[in-house]
Amino acid sequence: MGLRVVQWATGGVGIAAIKGVLEHPDLELAGCWVHSAEKAGKDVGEIIDGPGAEPLGVTATNSIDDILALDADAVVYAPLLPNPDEVAALLRSGKNVVTPVGWIYPSERQAAPLKAAALEGNATLHGTGIAPGGISEKFPLMFSVMSTGVTFVRAEEFSDLRTYEAPDVVRHVMGFGEVPDKALSGPMQKLLDGGFIQAVQMCVDKIGFRAEPKIRSSQEIAVATAPIPSPIGEIEPGQVAGRKFHWEALVDNEPVVRITVNWLMGEDNLDPAWTFGPEGQRYEIEVRGNPDISVCIKGFQSEVGGQGPEYGVVGTAAHCVNSIPAVCAAAPGIATYLDLPLISGKAAPQLG
């Protein structure tokens, strides 16, 4: 029998994580928490594949008490927004927690309550994902091992938001389609700061930069100059159609670590005239040192009008799922990438 895994929430990441657990030779699905009463009581097979799907023999519940009482080794905790009280309760119940929504590299102050809960339950909390939670800090550190005298590392995302099928989030959280002042004062910067500041700090600490304590964050806006069709309807001239967020660690006022997110509603009719450049949608990793290294990573962003899932979501879920065995074997407390061994994917069932 494999490690028994509970999936918490069944949005895009949650559904992909369930499918990942079913493919993983060392894991089995033991339970599933759902937010809505509509999904509660349904077999998880129907939730992930629709009516008529083959049943998995696991019934979803919207009762936290049901999950806490369940005999399980780990929980993939993937709600839209994290609730530290929920995570603490899961840890105290003896369940290891792997999550893409926080705690990648928390400070001692941030970590203290959840570390106490983890120690009480003899369990481990691990934050992971894609960006932040992989490409933003794990990949730069991984590539920096092949360079000496490192002076700068960068991780940067270039994504077309027209493929992101969460219109309420795109408009009301990300601020697209709003007037610039409203978008700039909206919640997105603060929501992103938590994870990306931790990602920058992990790079600073591991590489050993003598950086200033405060991570500098900033943002930029591009507006439509003509109507732009989008998942939230037509974005009118003067409304937000592009956003950039930057996080930088500085030594003597010079950046030594930079993470940037570029989110555009396409490349046409923008002011400023931002584009993805000839490489298109991608992630970039750069290390300056001896030698300089640059890497372009493609495949996580879907093409506009293409078929299939958003592969960044699938990659986020896979990173969580593949981490479960190592997290279950780790010492109780909070484990970051710096505390875990090398983690890989697993062979497809027909090849393993």
Q: What is the 3-state secondary structure (H, E, C) of 47-70?
A: HHHCCCCCCCCCECECCHHHHHHC
Q: What is the pLDDT of residue 309?
A: 77
Question: Does 344 fall in a domain?
Answer: no
Question: How many domains does the chain fold into?
Answer: 2
Q: What is the pLDDT of residue 304?
A: 82
> pTM for the full model?
0.94
Same domain? For 165 and 293 the reply is yes
Question: Does 345 fall in a domain?
Answer: no
Task: Give the residue from 273, 299, 325 where a domain finishes.
Answer: 299
Low-confidence residues in the chain, pLDDT < 50: none
Same domain? For 123 and 142 the reply is no
Question: Does 80 fall in a domain?
Answer: yes
Peptide bond into 255 cis (omega under 30): no
Same domain? For 167 and 237 the reply is yes
Rounded CA separation 127/147 (Å): 27
Residue 167 belongs to what domain range? 138-299
Q: What is the pLDDT of residue 302?
A: 85
Q: What is the pLDDT of residue 349?
A: 86
Rounded CA separation 232/216 (Å): 31
Same domain? For 78 and 163 the reply is no
Q: How far is CA 125 from CA 22, 60, 250, in A?
A: 22, 23, 30
Q: How far is CA 86 from CA 8, 80, 112, 230, in A?
A: 10, 13, 15, 35
Q: What is the pLDDT of residue 37?
A: 93
Question: Does 305 fall in a domain?
Answer: no
Same domain? For 10 and 87 the reply is yes
Same domain? For 146 and 293 the reply is yes
List, in order, residues 6 or more apart from 203 with CB less than 8 Å away. 137, 140, 141, 153, 209, 249, 257
Sign of CA dihedral 62, 66, 67, 72: negative
Check which CATH number belongs to the domain holding 41 and give it.
Answer: 3.40.50.720
Question: Does 306 fall in a domain?
Answer: no
Size of the chain in residues: 352
Amino acid at 332: P
Q: Are 101 and 81 in contact (CB under 8 A)?
A: yes
Question: Does 307 fall in a domain?
Answer: no
Same domain? For 282 and 334 the reply is no
Element (H, E) at 76: strand 74-77
What mean pLDDT value characterizes the chain? 95
Q: Are 29 and 7 in contact (CB under 8 A)?
A: yes
Nearest to 187 by CA among 261, 99, 259, 81: 81
Same domain? For 153 and 284 the reply is yes
Question: Does 351 fall in a domain?
Answer: no
Same domain? For 52 and 190 the reply is no
324: left (phi over 0), alpha (psi -120 to 50) or beta: alpha
Same domain? For 261 and 208 the reply is yes
Structure-block tokens of residue 148: 């000496």
Same domain? For 179 and 263 the reply is yes
Same domain? For 162 and 213 the reply is yes
Q: What is the pLDDT of residue 264?
A: 97
Question: Does 232 fall in a domain?
Answer: yes
